[in-house]
């Protein structure tokens, strides 16, 4: 790289290049796109000898560098080397560019600090063709570029934080609806797993039926409200272990009317929840209750929830009945097409059956049997698999292995929504699902360990608590720096899940009977 460029950089920064840089500063908050445009812009300055490859690191609230955008690197390679790369970078507090060679990547790079009003926001790492030190002109230019990019990043952070606040207000409303549904379920179901299974059954059926993503999200939020009216049913009837008398059943049926009265309002979520609560006991042929609706008079979400609710009730044990054999329950659902259930919903149930069978094992009530062999349909490989499952991760307990694969799926879902720029709403939705399922998995795993006398139970509990505490910390960080937090949590999940399974859960093999 030449020491001086005879005014070339100065001329460009007062002409066409200055205009393009100003346009870059006005860009949106897509940091991958921003980095790509910056690299394309710098290629117009051949004297800098930059390459179409680079990295963008931002600082999280603890001051650690987090990789938030990249161009020209292999994603899998970066996932394995991110920590090593960030540790090689200079502190960047001076604002002056530094030329170093990344040991793992074996390529020279220019590191440009992003300083905004003295605050170090992160670094841009620009790959260059040679290790020639930049001269005074280039250093001045790059320092000014770093400050300009810091302004862009600072604005991106502000915009994302505002979006977080708006979405959190919307989510608070949805959470209130979910919690009311869960509260009603806990009155007559010790673990509350029924409402989780039924909700996941319903969303799987909705997907097979072709409902759009927004409608499926409404279904996921409001399905737990199907039996909210049971809040108004006396314990003597609701918790009765035997068969109800005709009079008692007449009282029980009023839970649909109670639910409809509880869910008054014009809000779209409340209206959907009211439809489900009021009509999920209506039958396609008009012989249901409370209003004798038939066919498409019954709201579609209620038709889906009706089938999901009955299937889980049939295949679950209750104080007053044994669980039906799985095939008998499936046969009954099919027989009731055109009678109790919408025929199209029954067809969607059949299509979704592999997912439904998996959900039954993931959200089970009983203690896991280490020797149980699952006969589930194979899960097709994902095209967007980021955390990869392989046979070396099997601990030999089928149910636990299925739990672990599902945690991998949720982590890959999170990776997909982040890399595809789906937005903060989807990030929080998947992160909540992952956190919720991790708690379910840990609880089931600990019950199994306690039941079979696993010696390292206390150590496992400690590890589980640390994981949940860390996820809560990441959720809190989303308030302060939503950009770094979502990338930070991805790196943590990949590292923790694989390490925990290989070195902690692998010891669960000792519970398998010889």
Q: What is the mean pLDDT of residues 261-272?
A: 87
* pLDDT score of 189: 57
Q: Over 60: is that where the pLDDT of 8 sits?
A: no
**Residue position matching structure tokens 């002056």:** 96
Least confident residue range of 30-39, 163-172, 237-246, 415-424: 163-172
Q: What is the distance of C-alpha 136 from the center of its chain?
A: 47
Instruction: Tell me what percent of the residues of the chain surpass a pLDDT of 90.
Output: 46
Query: How high is the pLDDT of residue 427?
Result: 86
Q: Are 9 and 136 in contact (CB under 8 A)?
A: no
Q: Write out the two tokens for 484.
A: 């770094």
- At 192 the pLDDT is 67
383-394 pLDDT, tens digit per residue, is 878 898 988 999
Beta strands in 151-290 (DSSP E): none
Residue 284 is predicted with a pLDDT of 98
pLDDT of residue 158: 82
Q: pLDDT for 34-59, tens place per residue?
A: 888 889 888 887 778 889 999 999 99
**pLDDT tops 90 at residue 343:** yes
With the CA atoms of 244, 247, 253 and 255 taken in that order, what torsion angle do they form, in degrees rounded to the nearest 10? -90
pLDDT > 50? residue 14? no
Can you tell me the distance from the alpha carbon of 17 to that of 388, in angstroms, rounded to the nearest whole number?
Answer: 43
pLDDT band at 2 (very low <50, low <70, confident <90, very high): very low
pLDDT of 190 over the 60 cut? no
What does the pLDDT average to over 156-182? Answer: 72
Phi, psi of 387, deg, nearest 5: -90, 115
Domains of the chain listed by start with CATH number: 8-163 (3.30.450.40), 192-364 (1.10.3210.10), 369-514 (1.20.120.50)
Note the pLDDT tens digit of each residue in 469-479. 999 888 888 87
Q: Residue 401 pLDDT > 50, yes or no?
A: yes
By CB atoms closer than 10 A (0-12, 13-18, 19+), residue 70 is buried
Mean pLDDT of 252-256: 94
The mean-pLDDT minimum among 169-173, 318-322, 350-354, 444-448 falls in 169-173
CB 148 within 8 A of CB 38: no
pLDDT at 468: 93
Structure tokens, 503: 């070195």
The residue with greater pLDDT, 395 or 133, is 395
Three-state SS for 287-339 is: CCCCCCCCHHHCCHHHHHHHHHHHHHHHCCCECCECCCCHHHHHHHHHHCECC
Whether the predicted pLDDT of 26 surpasses 70: no
Alpha-carbon distances of 506 from 386, 388, 499, rounded to whole Å? 22, 17, 10
pLDDT, position 5: 40
Lowest-confidence segment of 185-189, 199-203, 305-309 by average pLDDT: 185-189
**In the structure, what pLDDT confidence band is assigned to residue 336 with cuts at 50, 70 and 90?**
very high
- In tens, the pLDDT along 81-131 reads 877 888 888 886 776 788 888 877 778 889 999 988 888 899 999 999 887
Q: Are 8 and 21 in contact (CB under 8 A)?
A: no
Q: Which of 334, 297, 287 is nearest to 314 (CA)?
A: 334
- Report whether pLDDT(13) > 80: no
Q: Would you state the pLDDT for residue 206? A: 98
Rounded Cα distance between 219 and 223, Å, is 6
What order of strands is seen across the sheet that includes strand 98-102?
Answer: 65-71, 50-59, 119-128, 107-116, 98-102
Q: Is the pLDDT score of 1 beyond 60?
A: no
- Closest C-alpha among 229, 253, 175 to residue 428: 175
Q: How confident is the model at residue 3 (pLDDT cuts 50, 70, 90)?
A: very low
Q: What is the mean pLDDT of the chain?
A: 86
Q: Which residue has the higher pLDDT, 134 or 302?
A: 302
> For residue 163, is pLDDT > 90?
no
């Amino acid at each position: 790289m030449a020491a001086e460029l005879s005014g070339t950089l100065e001329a460009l920064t007062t002409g066409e290049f200055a205009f393009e840089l100003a346009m870059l500063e006005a860009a949106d908050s897509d940091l991958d796109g921003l980095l790509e445009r910056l690299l394309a812009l710098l290629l117009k300055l051949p004297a800098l000898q930059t390459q179409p490859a680079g990295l963008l690191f931002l600082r999280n609230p603890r001051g650690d560098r987090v990789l938030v955008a990249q161009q020209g690197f292999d994603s899998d390679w970066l996932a394995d080397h991110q920590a090593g790369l960030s540790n090689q970078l200079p502190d960047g507090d001076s604002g002056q560019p530094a030329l170093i060679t990344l040991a793992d990547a074996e390529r020279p790079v220019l590191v440009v600090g992003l300083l905004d009003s003295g605050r170090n926001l992160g670094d841009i790492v620009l790959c260059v063709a040679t290790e020639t030190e930049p001269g005074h002109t280039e250093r001045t230019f790059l320092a000014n570029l770093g400050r300009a990019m810091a302004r862009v990043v600072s604005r991106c952070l502000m915009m994302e934080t505002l979006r977080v606040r708006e979405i959190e207000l919307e989510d608070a409303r949805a959470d209130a609806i979910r919690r009311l549904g869960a509260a009603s379920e806990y009155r007559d179901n010790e673990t509350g797993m029924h409402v989780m299974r039924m909700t996941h059954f319903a969303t799987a059926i909705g997907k097979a039926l072709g409902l759009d993503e927004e409608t499926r999200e409404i279904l996921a939020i409001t399905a737990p409200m199907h039996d909210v009216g049971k809040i108004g049913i006396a314990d003597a009837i609701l918790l009765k272990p035997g068969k109800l008398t005709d009079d008692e059943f007449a009282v029980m049926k009023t839970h649909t009317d109670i639910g409809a009265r509880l869910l008054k309002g014009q809000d779209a979520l409340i209206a959907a929840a009211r439809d489900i609560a009021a009509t999920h006991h209506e039958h396609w042929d008009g012989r249901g209750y409370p209003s004798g609706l038939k066919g498409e008079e019954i709201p579609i979400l209620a038709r889906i929830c009706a089938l999901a609710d009955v299937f889980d009730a049939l295949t679950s044990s209750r104080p007053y009945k044994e669980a039906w054999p799985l095939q008998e329950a499936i046969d009954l659902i099919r027989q009731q097409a055109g009678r109790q259930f919408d025929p199209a919903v029954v067809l969607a149930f059949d299509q979704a059956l592999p997912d439904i069978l998996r959900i039954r094992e993931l959200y089970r009530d009983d203690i896991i049997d280490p020797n149980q062999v699952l006969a589930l349909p194979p899960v097709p490989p994902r095209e967007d698999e980021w955390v990869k499952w392989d046979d070396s991760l099997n601990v030999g307990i089928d149910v636990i292995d299925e739990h672990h694969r599902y945690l991998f799926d949720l982590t890959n879902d999170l990776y997909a929504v982040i890399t595809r720029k789906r937005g903060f709403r989807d990030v929080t939705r998947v992160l909540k699902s992952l956190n919720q399922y991790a708690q379910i998995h840990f609880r089931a795993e600990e019950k199994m360990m306690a039941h079979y006398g696993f010696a390292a139970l206390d150590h496992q509990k400690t590890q589980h608590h640390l994981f949940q505490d860390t996820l809560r910390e990441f959720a809190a960080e989303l308030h302060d720096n939503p950009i770094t937090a979502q990338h930070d949590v991805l790196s943590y999940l990949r590292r923790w899940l694989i390490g925990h399974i290989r070195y902690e859960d692998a010891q669960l093999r000792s519970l398998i009977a010889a």
